[in-house]
Structures are given as C-alpha cells and as structure tokens.
Amino acid sequence: MLVIVAPGQGAQSPGFLSPWLEDPTFASRFDWLSTVAGLDLAHYGTEADAETIRDTRIAQPLLVATGLVAALELFPHPGDAFRHVGAVAGHSVGELTAAAGARAISAEQAMVLVRERGAAMAAAAEATPTGMTAVLGGDRDDVLSALERHGLTAANDNGPGQVVAAGTAEQLAALAADPPAKARLVPLSVAGAFHTVHMEPAVSHLAGLARSVSTHDPRTPVISNRDGQVVHDGREVLARIVGQIASPVRWDLCMETMLDLGVTGILEMPPAGTLTGIAKRAMKGVETFALKTPDQLEAAREFCAKHGEASMIETTPTWRMVVAPAKGTFHLDAQAAESDVLAAGATIGDVASLRDRTPVLAPHGGQVVEWLVHDGDLVSPGQPLVRLHPEGSSS
C-alpha cells in the first residue's frame, strides 16, 4: 500500500525549485498557482536566500504550490493516482497539499487558503515574541513533563524522540535552563509558536474564509494531523485543517494509522526528505522515496507501481461509502440498524479504540444498500462500513 505525504514549513531550502522550473509544463502550471497566490513564487524558489523563504507568508504558499504541481508531474493523468494511492497525509501546511491532491478542495482554493494562512499566522506571531525548539531524545514522559512544567506546548509530536516545544521566548529560555534528562535542544528558525494558542487569531480568519469554500468528499482517504484519523468528508477535512493552525500536529498518530492501514511504501512530495527521514526511524520495514528533483520522476513512478493499489473507497456519482475513522471495534447504532434511509448527519455507530470512542456519522445520508460490517466487528482505518445511495435514487 502506498501513502503520499507532503512536508510542512521548514522543508524549503534556497534554490530547491530550480531544476523543476526547467520543465516548461511545470513552469507554466507553477506560474498559474503563483498568480492565484499573488506572489512571485518562482523567484522565491530559485533566487531568494534562506532568511527570505523562512518568512511564513512566503514559505507556506511556496511549499503547497510545489507539491501540487509536482503531483501532476508524477501522475500526468490524475486517474492514475487514484488507482495507486491508498491514502494521503500532510504535515502542518502540507495538509492543504494533501487535501487538494485528494480532490477535497481545488488547487486554486488551496492556494488562496495557504496565502491567507501564511499571512494570518505571521501576523499572529508578530503579536508576541514566540518560537519553537526541537527536543530530541530523552524519555517521552520526562520530555512532556518538562514542557508542561514550563507552560510549553508539544506543537509537533513526530514520534519517538522527536517532540517540538512551542511557546513564548521566556518559556523556551526556561526550558533551555532546565531541560529534560538525556535530551538535546535545538532552537528552530521559525517565526513563531505555530500550532499553539498563540495562533488563535489566524484560526478565526481562516474559519471565516472556509465558510465560502466548496468542498468534495476526497477521492483518497486523508489522514488528519489532529488525531491520525482517516477523514472522508470534505467539510470535515477543511474544518480540521483550519483548526489545526492552533492545535498540535500529531504526526506520530498519523504514522500509526499508516501502519494500521498496511502501508508498505511512503513517497514524499518535494521538497522532500523530512518526513521520509522520520519514517525511516519510526516505521521499520516501510520503504520510502524522497522526491527531490525531476530526474527522479521515472523511479518515483516505479516506486508507486510497486506499492500502489486503489484505496478501499470507491467514489462515483451513484455510490457513497461511510468509512471507519480509526482502528477499533465497531458498535452499530440500534436505530441506524433498523433504518432503510439515513438522514444527513445521522449517527451510524462508533469505533472504540484503546484511546477513545469516536462517533461515526453519515454526513450526506442516503438509502442503505448494504451494511459491510456487523456490530462488534474489528475495523481498520478507512474501512467501508455501509454502502449508500443518495436519497431518492434507485439501484
């Protein structure tokens, strides 16, 4: 099974885009998305220095545009992607890349949202001196206890030995003076405490814009940063991306879900290397491919063919599926079990895991054609639970 992942801010480096722009088709498509963003992204990806592209207003649109256009280079016919990709995920701003790649939102909508996201997060960061520090190694409980002691947030939980602390400059200084045992602290070159309460003003701004964005149920399961759950409702995909601006990124749970899905190969979109590096350390036995330059495209396609298989979700104008958000035991709602037609938003049951119990809804409703699981069955993330016809249609 193949999972495509998109990196977040910090993956960019000076000049990384230069080899990609040598392709006229890539350059033309990239110019279009740059126009939508209102930024000369080609300049920033080829000529700007590291300090310039560290700016949140620039880095975020640059990353999303690169990932989206590179995806079209990898899969010139989008239908090929849906026959190969089992799931997608993005780290932080990479979730916008993943959402557009899965067709939950359009590329143009993603570029408008990332433009506004970057600007709003930069403005929020300027309100208070804040930052982020990577905490490498150490006992997990000791690390989290130290962060709590100093009022910091574990803004990125990237798996064993990789937690990113975020908060005010004073809080980070206190952590540096009193670090957790056996841990190494690496201050990050970022503009602020992303994925913390300090970003709440940006959430409010994006939430207002998101109300005008038309969404579609993704063609490929999307794994959410919030809790690693598989999301297959376009409105929820977008709502989670907006809320994630001020909430921790749980990449550890995303990787856990990938393993539950049976991933055998992870391909990271450019500028690649960060997420595949994490996967090599945390997901033993899973092959990785970091797509960095266009001369790797043929090898990347071979990698996709080796690991690819269509997702369990088949989306057509006629059928709808409701799928499991996580691994666990499915408990069927008694009323849903007796219903021939489910109303939009109806509860069909819940999935109980070791961590929590997650309600499962039928966002669009419809006529019940076939229950694909029974009460008490063990289910995996993204597994279809019930097949529905849009209400009023016939089989």
Which of the residues 92, 224, 247, 311 is marked catalytic? 92
Which of the residues 195, 198, 205, 364 is marked catalytic? 195
Q: What does the pLDDT look like over 234-260, one tens digit per residue? A: 999 999 999 999 999 999 999 999 999
Q: Which CATH architecture has domain 2-124+197-307?
A: 3-Layer(aba) Sandwich (3.40)
Lowest model confidence (mean pLDDT) among 120-124, 228-232, 364-368, 387-391:
387-391
Is there a cis peptide before residue 381, judged by omega within 30 degrees of 0? Answer: no
Q: Which CATH architecture has domain 320-389?
A: Beta Barrel (2.40)
Catalogue the E-assigned strands of 93-246. 130-137, 153-157, 162-168, 183-187, 222-223, 230-231
Residue ranges per structural domain of the chain? 2-124+197-307, 127-187, 320-389
pLDDT score recorded for residue 191: 81
Distance CA 310, CA 313 (A): 8
pLDDT score recorded for residue 9: 92
Q: What does the pLDDT look like over 124-146, one tens digit per residue? A: 999 989 999 999 999 999 999 99
Say yes or no to pLDDT of 313 above 80. no
Say yes or no to pLDDT of 392 above 80. no
User: Nearest-CA neighbor of 294 among 28, 5, 26, 4?
Assistant: 26
Q: What does the pLDDT look like over 260-302, one tens digit per residue? A: 999 999 999 999 999 999 999 999 999 999 999 999 999 999 9
The pLDDT confidence band at residue 314, using thresholds 50, 70 and 90, is: low
Say yes or no to pLDDT of 317 above 60. no
User: Nearest-CA neighbor of 138 among 180, 186, 178?
Assistant: 180
Q: Give the pLDDT mean for 383-393.
A: 80
CB 172 within 8 A of CB 152: yes
The CATH number of 127-187, from 3.40.630.30, 3.30.70.250, 3.40.1450.10, 3.30.470.20, is: 3.30.70.250
**What are the residues facing 2 on neighbouring strands?**
85, 265
Equal CATH topology for 2-124+197-307 and 320-389 = no
pLDDT score recorded for residue 394: 40
Residues of the chain with pLDDT > 70, as a percent, come to 97
Say yes or no to pLDDT of 155 above 60. yes
Examine the residue annotation and report whether 353 is marked as an active-site residue of this protein: no
**Whole-number mean pLDDT of the chain?**
93
